[in-house]
């Protein structure tokens, strides 16, 4: 079956994108990524810890070389300028790597995106030749503006980052999915496999998650569950669900030929 996710001209077999934060150690990170079947993994860009032992294990060397497409993010940035600088550093760090996840936050408590700064940063980064997958609110008007700027994927939140509250506004997500000509991926808020399945059933092109896997009691097992959830949701979406029939039951078994003890 040929059902590929295409982002910035490149095809991916998996529609699950996974973050590399919050695992117990790099070994658990690697095993969870493997179990998830993902092909794109997010990484963050941070200051080198000065004075640390140069032999301290490093995330990039802990991941199997060349297996994953890296998606560096601007997580933790609260202004367009900081996000732009961070992603330029990522591009240099990863040898002219252009695919990035733009994220500009607006509040340290709820981590809600600052869409005004996000729009500014998107404009600059697209102009510099970056392929920008953009984290944003579930506002369809902003989503359209980000697409018009030239972002290669729109990634609305399902609920707050790291909250695990699931898909809080499927109606808005559907508005964004229906209008978009670039892939739409739910980023943030997924808590368990059914949330991922619901996102995919709505018609999302993919799901990006980190905490839902890393904070599970058994992250490797949850990674596998998420893989199946995303696949099940995608299949259900492609299969086309039956229409809902409100207050109107229809039997699955034939109505004729039922034995009856007191037929006249």
Torsion of CA 104, 110, 115, 117, to 10 degrees: -40
List beta partners, residue 187.
Answer: 208
What single-letter DSSP state applies at residue 243?
P
Q: Minimal distance in Å, beta carbon 185 to other proteins?
A: 13
Handedness of CA 214, 110, 86, 70 (dihedral sign): positive
Find the angle CA(205)-CA(6)-CA(117) to the nearest 5 degrees: 70
Set 4, 22, 65, 101: catalytic member: 101
Contact between 19 and other proteins (CB under 8 A)?
Answer: yes
Tokens 């990035």 identify what position? Answer: 100
Contact between 119 and other proteins (CB under 8 A)?
Answer: no
Q: Minimal distance in Å, beta carbon 154 to other proteins?
A: 17
CA–CA distance, 231 with 14 (Å, rounded to integer): 8
List beta partners, residue 208.
Answer: 17, 187
Residue 91 or 224: the one with the smaller Cβ distance to other proteins is 91
Task: Residue 186: count other Cβ atoms within 10 Å of its Cβ.
Answer: 28
Contact between 27 and other proteins (CB under 8 A)?
Answer: no
Contact between 70 and other proteins (CB under 8 A)?
Answer: yes
Contact between 46 and other proteins (CB under 8 A)?
Answer: yes
Contact between 92 and other proteins (CB under 8 A)?
Answer: yes
Q: Which stretch, 92-100, 126-134, 170-178, 245-253, contacts other proteins (CB under 8 A)?
A: 92-100
Residues that bind other proteins (CB under 8 A): 19-23, 29, 42-48, 50, 54, 58-61, 70, 72-73, 75, 85-86, 88-94, 161, 208-211
Q: Which residues contribute to the annotated binding site for 1-deoxy-D-xylulose 5-phosphate?
A: 162, 188-189, 210-211
């Amino acid at each position: 079956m040929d059902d590929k996710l295409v982002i910035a001209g490149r095809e991916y077999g998996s529609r699950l994108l996974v973050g590399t934060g919050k695992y117990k150690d790099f070994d658990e990170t690697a095993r969870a990524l493997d179990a998830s079947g993902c092909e794109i993994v997010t990484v963050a860009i941070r200051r080198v810890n000065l004075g640390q032992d140069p032999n301290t294990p490093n995330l990039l060397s802990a991941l199997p070389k060349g297996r994953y497409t890296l998606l560096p993010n601007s997580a933790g940035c609260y202004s367009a300028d900081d996000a732009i600088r961070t992603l330029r550093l990522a591009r240099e760090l990863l040898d002219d790597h252009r695919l990035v996840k733009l994220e500009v936050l607006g509040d340290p408590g709820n981590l809600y995106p600052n869409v005004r700064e996000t729009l500014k940063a998107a404009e600059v980064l697209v102009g510099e030749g970056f392929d920008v997958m953009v984290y944003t609110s579930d506002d369809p008007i902003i989503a359209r503006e980000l697409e018009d700027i030239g972002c290669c994927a729109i990634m609305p939140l399902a609920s707050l980052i790291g909250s695990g509250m699931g898909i809080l506004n499927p109606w808005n997500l559907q508005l964004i999915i229906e209008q978009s000509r670039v892939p739409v991926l739910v980023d943030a808020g997924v808590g368990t496999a059914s949330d991922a399945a619901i996102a995919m059933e709505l018609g999302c092109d993919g799901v990006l998650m980190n905490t839902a896997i890393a904070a599970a009691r058994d992250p490797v097992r949850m990674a596998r569950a998420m893989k199946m959830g995303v696949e099940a949701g995608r299949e259900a979406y492609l299969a086309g669900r039956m229409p809902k029939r409100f207050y109107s039951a229809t039997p699955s078994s034939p109505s004729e030929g039922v034995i009856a003890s007191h037929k006249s």
